């Protein structure tokens, strides 16, 4: 067994665990293949179970023979372990290091995890494309489900089933695919029932420096326009970046070839810039010593809030084009797997009340992130404490969640779920016992046989016992389009993630509990009053009948 080789010292006694805002715990440290466990062997103190996959980086220090390991986690928590004995400490540190950086996906915990609950609804089957296509069919017959990518050869990052305009045949799709980066030809992302406008997504067109064109691509996206109508292409890159892309074979839609479309360029940062932004932000949040001015400077310098603003603004723009301008929209950046998905998924939350329910939000993540081929495995390999050379890590999904949180803050009654769901998704995207976020695309997940070998996150979340934690007590379905404010004054730092481990939440938890109580008490009274009223009404009718009989 490979793990045993990596674990030099499986057990150390007398280890002291320090966590912010919690009492220190002394106990026995155990290393297993997937967990770091610290137990005081007393019933009263909570044990620490930490997934190795959650460990972002470690540091070790020695004072005499007492070693200290600082463990920095992907969920941004920082803990300290004091380990007596230099050798033990070194052994533990190197084991953690090795176990938290396993290369092989199939050695990950989800492949070993056996749920302690009965899987009632298999999350792997909860959101299949056929089902969402049925919904679409009930609204319009302009679209069809194409199997052109059945074996993932046309576009390795797309799922096997794709929704495309009815009048475009598979042959045209193949040609369009060859004209788009990574084969990601334009496909349907969202259908706006209210005015039959659509949002599509793709990757950049491969125009190159000599202005290549592709009739099939043009025909494909024009097929989504009503007669005489025009559409918008939202390119998530600045015009300068898009121009530069030409030199590498990419580019953007030339006006002359797409006369029915108007292009708008936005400035969503590329993934390596976002990763840098996250690192700086977390550094600022963890810096305990700084003064007031350093804090705001550092927050500003991290650019995180600017990124949130830019992404949210672009999503609002897409939603505005669809809902207000009555125009169809095509969204793309470079690869179409990052900023594109941020924009299309946020726009749907703004436009579509269904996406603001728990089920609908899960479906959205499944559709617009997992099946749409956001490379979770690559993007979430490391988080804010990574000190190695960055590869393709980037907090693209975290930024999306942050934007959702911003909208949630501005419309606290319009979402069925609360902040906890968003934080939970952040955690599981980076380290999880479930297989949902493993792999980079549908094809990879198929090869890994995740649906057979691992449990889906949704199987767990959708259990009534778990769901309760994620419900927003203030929720009242709101069928309107919700337009958030993107002004800097309106956008807040997401403390629930970034300051989560640097604050005591006692007072905030208390406030949340009180809110739940107020609403539950109200509902309870309503029920009582209603049932009493019914009883009274019934008594009254009986009364009348008696009187009538007389």
Give 240 or 273: the residue with its C-beta nearer to other proteins. Answer: 240
Asked if 482 touches other proteins (CB under 8 A), the answer is: yes
How, if at all, do strands 197-201 and 187-192 pair? Answer: antiparallel
Backbone angles phi, psi at 173, to 5 degrees: -60, -40
Residue 293: both structure tokens together: 């001015």
Residue 309: both structure tokens together: 């603003």
Residues 523-542 that bind other proteins (CB under 8 A): 525-526, 528-530, 532-533, 535-537, 539-540
**Separation CA 258–CA 267 (nearest Å):** 22
The order of strands in the sheet holding 11-18 is 48-51, 35-39, 25-31, 11-18, 78-84, 66-73, 55-63
Least distance between other proteins and beta carbon 493 (Å)? 7
> Which residues is 200 bridged to in the sheet?
188, 330
**Separation CA 312–CA 224 (nearest Å):** 25
Give 39 or 313: the residue with its C-beta nearer to other proteins. Answer: 313
Least distance between other proteins and beta carbon 364 (Å)? 20
Residue 431: both structure tokens together: 């380290």
Asked if 507 touches other proteins (CB under 8 A), the answer is: yes
Asked if 543 touches other proteins (CB under 8 A), the answer is: yes
Asked if 503 touches other proteins (CB under 8 A), the answer is: yes
**Separation CA 55–CA 74 (nearest Å):** 6
Q: Which stretch binds other proteins (CB under 8 A): 87-95, 124-132, 432-440, 496-504?
A: 496-504
**Separation CA 475–CA 452 (nearest Å):** 35
Position among 283, 493, 500, 505 found at the interface with other proteins (CB under 8 A): 493
Give 311 or 443: the residue with its C-beta nearer to other proteins. Answer: 311
Question: Residue 452 class from Cβ within 10 Å (0-12 exposed, 13-18 middle, 19+ buried)?
Answer: exposed
Residues 243-272 that bind other proteins (CB under 8 A): 254-255, 262-265
Residue with tokens 């030099």: 8
Q: Which stretch binds other proteins (CB under 8 A): 46-54, 92-100, 218-226, 315-323?
A: 315-323
Residue 187: both structure tokens together: 């496909």
Residues 404-463 that bind other proteins (CB under 8 A): 409-414
Give 108 or 317: the residue with its C-beta nearer to other proteins. Answer: 317
Return the sign of the alpha-carbon dihedral for residues 186, 191, 195, 196: positive
| Contacts with other proteins, 328-347, as mask; x by CB under 8 A | --------------------
The secondary structure of 321-388 as a DSSP string is HHHTS--EEEEE-SSSSSHHHHHHHHHHHHH-GGGGSHHHHHHHHIIIIITTT--HHHHTSS-TT--S
Asked if 545 touches other proteins (CB under 8 A), the answer is: no
Least distance between other proteins and beta carbon 21 (Å)? 10
Least distance between other proteins and beta carbon 151 (Å)? 39
Residues 274-313 that bind other proteins (CB under 8 A): 285, 288, 290-297, 299-300, 303, 305-306, 309, 313
Residues 74-93 that bind other proteins (CB under 8 A): none
Q: Which stretch binds other proteins (CB under 8 A): 57-65, 131-139, 196-204, 521-529?
A: 521-529
**Separation CA 278–CA 462 (nearest Å):** 30
Give 215 or 294: the residue with its C-beta nearer to other proteins. Answer: 294
Position among 227, 480, 547, 549 found at the interface with other proteins (CB under 8 A): 480
**Separation CA 261–CA 254 (nearest Å):** 10
Give 134 or 533: the residue with its C-beta nearer to other proteins. Answer: 533
Position among 115, 485, 544, 545 found at the interface with other proteins (CB under 8 A): 485
Contact 372, 343 (CB under 8 A): no
Q: How far apart are the first and last CA of the chain?
A: 89
Position among 40, 178, 222, 502 found at the interface with other proteins (CB under 8 A): 502
Residues 213-242 that bind other proteins (CB under 8 A): 230, 238-240
* Size, binding site for other proteins by CB under 8 A: 85
Contact 65, 86 (CB under 8 A): yes
Q: Which stretch binds other proteins (CB under 8 A): 11-19, 106-114, 207-215, 522-530?
A: 522-530
Position among 51, 316, 349, 443 found at the interface with other proteins (CB under 8 A): 316
């Amino acid at each position: 067994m490979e793990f045993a080789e990596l674990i030099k010292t499986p057990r150390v006694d007398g280890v002291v665990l320090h966590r912010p805002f919690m009492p220190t715990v002394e106990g026995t440290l155990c290393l297993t293949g997937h967990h770091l466990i610290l137990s005081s062997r007393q019933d009263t103190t909570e044990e620490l179970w930490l997934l190795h996959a959650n460990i972002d980086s470690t540091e070790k220090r020695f004072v005499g023979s007492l070693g200290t390991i600082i463990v920095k986690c992907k969920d941004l928590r920082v803990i300290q372990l004091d380990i007596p004995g230099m050798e033990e400490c070194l052994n533990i540190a190197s084991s953690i290091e090795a176990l938290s950086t396993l290369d092989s996906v199939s050695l990950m915990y989800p492949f070993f995890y056996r749920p302690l609950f009965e899987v009632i609804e298999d999350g792997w089957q909860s959101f299949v494309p056929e089902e969402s296509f049925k919904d679409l069919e009930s609204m319009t017959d302009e679209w069809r489900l194409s199997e052109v990518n059945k074996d993932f050869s046309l576009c390795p990052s797309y799922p096997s089933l794709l929704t495309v305009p009815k009048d475009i045949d598979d042959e045209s799709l193949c040609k369009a695919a060859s004209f788009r980066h990574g084969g990601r030809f334009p496909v349907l992302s969202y259908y706006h029932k209210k005015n039959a406008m659509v949002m599509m997504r793709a990757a950049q067109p491969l125009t190159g420096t000599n202005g290549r064109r592709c009739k099939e691509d043009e025909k494909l996206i024009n097929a989504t326009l009503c007669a005489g109508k025009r559409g918008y292409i939202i390119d998530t890159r600045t015009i300068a970046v898009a121009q530069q892309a030409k030199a590498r074979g990419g580019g953007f839609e030339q006006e002359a070839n797409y006369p029915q479309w108007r292009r708008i360029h936005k400035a969503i940062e590329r993934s390596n810039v976002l990763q840098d932004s996250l690192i700086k932000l977390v550094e600022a949040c963890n810096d305990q010593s700084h003064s007031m001015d350093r804090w705001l400077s550092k927050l500003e310098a991290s650019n995180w809030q600017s990124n949130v603003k830019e992404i949210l603004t672009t999503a609002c723009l897409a939603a505005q084009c669809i809902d207000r301008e009555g125009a169809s929209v095509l969204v793309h950046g470079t690869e179409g797997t990052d900023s594109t998905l941020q924009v299309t998924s946020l726009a749907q939350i703004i436009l579509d009340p269904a996406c603001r329910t728990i089920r609908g939000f899960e479906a959205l993540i499944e559709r617009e992130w997992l099946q749409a081929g956001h490379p979770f495995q690559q993007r979430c390999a490391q988080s804010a404490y990574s000190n190695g050379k960055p590869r393709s890590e980037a907090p693209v999904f975290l930024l999306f969640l942050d934007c959702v949180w911003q909208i949630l803050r501005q419309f606290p009654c319009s979402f069925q779920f609360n902040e906890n769901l968003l934080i939970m998704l952040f955690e599981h995207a980076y380290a999880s016992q479930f297989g949902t976020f493993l792999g980079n695309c549908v094809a990879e997940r198929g090869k890994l046989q995740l649906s057979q070998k691992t449990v889906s996150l949704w199987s767990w979340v959708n259990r009534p016992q778990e769901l309760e934690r994620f419900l927003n007590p203030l929720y009242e379905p709101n069928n309107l389009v919700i337009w958030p404010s993107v002004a800097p004054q309106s956008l807040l730092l997401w403390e629930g993630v970034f300051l989560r481990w640097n604050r005591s939440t006692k007072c905030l938890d208390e406030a949340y509990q009180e809110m739940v109580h107020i609403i539950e008490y109200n509902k309870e009274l309503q029920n009582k009053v209603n049932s009493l009223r019914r009883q009274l009404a019934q008594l009254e009718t009986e009364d009348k009948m008696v009187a009538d009989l007389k």
